[in-house]
Chain A
């Protein structure tokens, strides 16, 4: 069963089309990653799912029902632009936000989450005394404290150090294990690859990718060679059948053109230098993202 069904939704701001005919089905209990460049429509889509913005056309169904304000109590939402009442105490604030969602057993959930995220000692401190990372964790607790069935997290890892990133990542996976459906938007492609059951990419308001990581990679075929040679990128220029070369220092990636033959390319490279490793790989999510979004500037073009 799909927790979220978006059916051909469109949202315009003046003449700008923010979301264009988007359809999407998010299965229950899954972790769904929303990726896309800035301004592509991720936040607008999440706001429409939260009933904060209304679509101009199309239909949104949540938990099998047409979206109403009442259903939003069953959704936890952490917006990208987030803040907290700085003069409230942490526990008091979490109780307030949990009760605002009509949550049950809020006191128990607040105490459990504060303990889970190592914030019990800060429960009676004012929010303004927290560090940025602690504030982010409090924000996360505020999102999940009402025990929602669906959690929407807009850029949940932005501004977090690696330790807190792991803490939040584990908490998200724990929610999934309890049956919660989680959607999060991110610019961290490796995080999306590791955490998400499904990945959805929106670009200029339109859906350009949707599916499991494997199915997405299959769409892009095995057109990438990852190679390590004794002489590095210098000997990999002017190879017939290679469209682009990306130099990572120790390793280089070659993207094959339509007529690129890995065997012929390998023969040419062996004639030039000593090959230390040679893999035909599927493109990473990062590569796919860049191919679609067109940010090619960092790539080394053919000489």
Chain B
């Protein structure tokens, strides 16, 4: 299991980088001609996760580790968006114990949680006025969350790998020439998820079933709406700084719950600061 998670995490790191999705649109999407937008963000996040395969307790943690990169391509009809994101923090469920073995004192260490998310989305402009734009489209998203539980003798790694197709609603309100408020919401309709099994037995590896991303994918399954619920929500204030740049303050919420083989629930609250540019 450790080797699976090491390869998986390393692959995600190398492939996806150190960034976190905030799903925040550029300030300049209402320009007349097609434009490119680039956003760079960082933020503080607070995470709660509970994975009953490993523990009945809710693990909580927070840190300033979020880095975000998002590219957008604007047209008269809609927005293409590619985004990549990363977050991580220590997480604890309560007081950590200290015990003695072979005359030595051992203490439990905090757990650790990491998440990487990558998405591509397209939203079509469905309503437009001087003050208000409404877009509707879809997102294709890949996400992995890895939670490390440090028990006594071992550290166990739980993971939730998901690929999902989501409807995506984006609304923008132009308060004045310099200020805009954006709201986004999405949730998965079709998902493919991979999780550890009910009982973690490392000797699957003895039979050389693999210890990399392919092994994880082989053990995934399509999820029904009954077994998988998730929600992504974003609220952003853009403050225009110049013709090519804007300052952003935003809040993101993401929640996911999957009930196989036992429920895992992950809730993330993120508060972000960022800069966006058009070129």
Q: Do A and B bind each other?
A: no
